[in-house]
């Protein structure tokens, strides 16, 4: 059996273990997560730079967004697979380092398999999104285009007006989107672990991801609730610290306010990223546990 059902309390256990992630090799884990976060920021920076330099309209911005999204559909799975291998090595006491994150970009490290799984998940996300919007949010696309147009014009009043005029059925759409997001999160975590760390094929990993998620609906639900409460508390504390530091620095100079607040802000983001990928890893390891926790398969023994 590739996947196992766990008790509802497993959701809390995954989060608790994720909070402690990196204690065995903090330099590799935190460094790898920081590198992944930096690369993941590139599309947003490119979009902002292009928009500021060229003042593109709706069509232009959508084109830039589409290109950046397609690039990340290829690049991001390689980064996630590399990070999971860094985390797995650190948790098992094997030598590793932050830049091992990029080993998946080299030949012979399952790049095709990782990209294939990432593309399959992206297509599944897109298909479900289109179906849900088509059934429950027919006016969503028109509303979103209005919001995008207001954003490209840098008109705060127009943005506020569009945000107040949400389409009918938006609440239902968000609720269904949240449920779909939880389901896909489970499939993504379990399936990606199977591809990156067990050498499973894309099809087998998708089957394992769906089966493992359906078997563990309750612990994933518990995880979602506990994670939401924990995130809210963490965000509140971080915001208060940032506000205090910015206020103190602002008494001297705005630049000092930024210099004092920025490290806390980026440090908080880094912690959230570490916990997020830690939950992903420990969920996979628990749901797909094998006798003796079989180590990473070498390239010549992965499943075809």
pLDDT greater than 70 at residue 301: no
Give the per-residue pLDDT at 95.
93
Number of H helices, E strands in the chain: 10, 0
Taking each helix axis as running N to C, give the angle between helix 254-287 and helix 10-19, from 0 to 180 degrees, rounded to the nearest 10: 130
- DSSP-derived letter for residue 96 is -
Q: pLDDT for 262-297, tens place per residue?
A: 999 999 999 999 999 999 999 999 999 865 454 444
- DSSP-derived letter for residue 107 is T
Q: pLDDT for 170-227, tens place per residue?
A: 777 788 888 888 999 999 999 999 999 998 999 999 999 999 999 999 999 999 999 9
Report the C-alpha gap between 173 and 133 in whole angstroms: 7
List, as one string, the DSSP characters of 125-167.
Answer: HHHHHHHHHHHH-TTHHHHHHHHHHHHHTT-HHHHHHHHHSPP
Q: pLDDT for 1-43, tens place per residue?
A: 578 999 999 999 999 999 999 888 999 999 999 999 998 888 7
pLDDT greater than 70 at residue 137: no
Q: What is the mean pLDDT of residues 257-266?
A: 91
Ranges 9-13, 85-89, 110-114, 156-160: which has the least confidence: 156-160
Closest CA to 47 of 39, 56, 34, 38: 56
Residue 32 in tokens: 């790898």
- DSSP-derived letter for residue 302 is S
Give the per-residue pLDDT at 300.
41
pLDDT greater than 80 at residue 245: yes
Give the per-residue pLDDT at 133.
76
Give the per-residue pLDDT at 138.
65
Closest CA to 24 of 85, 94, 81, 84: 94
Report the C-alpha gap between 222 and 217 in whole angstroms: 9
Give the per-residue pLDDT at 201.
93
Going 13 to 92 to 271 to 106, the CA torsion angle's sign is: negative
Q: What is the mean pLDDT of residues 104-130?
A: 90
Q: What is the mean pLDDT of residues 234-242?
A: 94
Comparing 130 with 243, the larger pLDDT belongs to 243
* Token pair 């490119």: residue: 46
Report the C-alpha gap between 126 and 116 in whole angstroms: 15
Q: What is the dihedral of CA 288, 292, 297, 303, to 10 degrees?
A: -50
Q: What is the mean pLDDT of the chain?
A: 85
pTM: 0.84
């Amino acid at each position: 059996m590739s996947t196992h059902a766990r008790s509802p309390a497993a959701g809390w256990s995954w989060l608790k273990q994720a909070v402690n992630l990196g204690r065995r090799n903090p330099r590799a884990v935190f460094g790898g997560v920081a590198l992944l976060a930096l690369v993941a920021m590139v599309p947003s920076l490119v979009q902002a730079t292009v928009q500021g330099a060229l003042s593109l309209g709706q069509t232009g911005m959508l084109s830039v967004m589409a290109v950046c999204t397609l690039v990340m559909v290829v690049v991001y799975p390689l980064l996630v697979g590399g990070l999971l291998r860094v985390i797995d090595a650190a948790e098992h006491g094997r030598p590793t380092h932050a830049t091992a994150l990029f080993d998946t970009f080299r030949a012979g490290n399952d790049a095709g398999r990782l990209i294939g799984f990432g593309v399959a998940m992206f297509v599944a996300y897109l298909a479900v999104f289109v179906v849900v919007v088509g059934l429950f949010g027919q006016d969503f696309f028109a509303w979103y285009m209005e919001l995008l147009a207001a954003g490209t014009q840098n008109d705060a009043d127009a943005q506020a007006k569009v945000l107040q005029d949400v389409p009918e059925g938006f609440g239902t759409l968000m609720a269904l989107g949240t449920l779909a997001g939880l389901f896909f999160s489970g499939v993504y975590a379990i399936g990606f672990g199977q591809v990156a760390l067990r050498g499973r094929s894309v099809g087998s990993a998708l089957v394992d991801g769906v089966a493992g998620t359906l078997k563990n609906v309750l612990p994933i639900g518990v995880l979602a609730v506990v994670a939401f409460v924990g995130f809210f508390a963490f965000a509140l504390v971080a915001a208060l610290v940032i506000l205090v530091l910015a206020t103190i620095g602002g008494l001297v100079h705005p630049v000092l306010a930024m210099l004092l607040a920025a490290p806390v802000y980026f440090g908080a983001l880094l912690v959230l990223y570490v916990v997020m990928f830690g939950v992903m890893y420990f969920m996979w390891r628990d749901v797909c546990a094998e006798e003796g926790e079989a180590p990473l398969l070498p390239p010549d023994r992965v499943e075809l």
